[in-house]
Amino acid sequence: MSLPEPREPAGPYRVSVVCLGNICRSPMAAKVLTADLERAGMSDLVEVDSSGTGDWHVGGGMDPRAAATLRVHGYLTNHTARQFDPEDLATRDLVLVMDMDNLDEVRRAVDERGVEFGFDVSRLRLFRSFAPGCGPNPEVPDPYYGGDDGFTAVLNMIEAAAKGLTGELVSRLRG
């Protein structure tokens, strides 16, 4: 899968990860991807943030179960939830969503405002589509209404996709 060209060749490549409430999947993905990029020596070349399509949790922290799962696996957990803003499209090179509902929400924003910001759907992808062999369903399910084991399963999916994406970013930005 080919990544879109950087919008600002001299600046960092900006990746935004989007889920529903920005307290489980997208902050987990942002923390894992950031850690993988640091290990690959890419933290100066790529910026990662996250947001949610809904506004229920704006200003709050990460879901305690998501934070505990990350902590157990050695990841950082500091996070303040924010809502996806269509104006984010003006500065992001790649927007990655967790599931088809998130994709539909963000695609509506792209359809309504993307031209204004020079953002087209080629910069919008499902996060898990970067996981090798993810199968026919590249969605990351929402673990919010389940138990702790759902957060571990989601972390495994995120780690696989983050490794695949990091490899592609290394290839794209380091040639």
Task: Decide: 27 and 16 in contact? Cβ < 8 Å.
Answer: no
Catalytic residues: 19, 25, 142
> 88-119 pLDDT, tens per residue?
999 999 999 999 999 999 999 999 999 999 99
List, in order, residues 6 or more apart from 63 with CB less than 8 Å away: 23, 24, 144
* Adjacency order of strands within the sheet including 46-52: 46-52, 13-19, 94-97, 124-126
Q: Specify the pTM.
A: 0.97
pLDDT (0 to 100) of residue 175: 73
| Strand ranges for the chain from DSSP E | 13-19, 46-52, 94-97, 124-126
- Give the angle subtended at the CA of 23 by the CAs of 17 and 27, to the nearest 5°: 35
What region does 118 belong to: left with phi over 0, alpha with psi -120 to 50, or beta? left
> 115-172 pLDDT, tens per residue?
999 999 999 999 999 999 888 889 999 999 999 999 999 999 999 999 999 999 999 9
pLDDT (0 to 100) of residue 137: 87
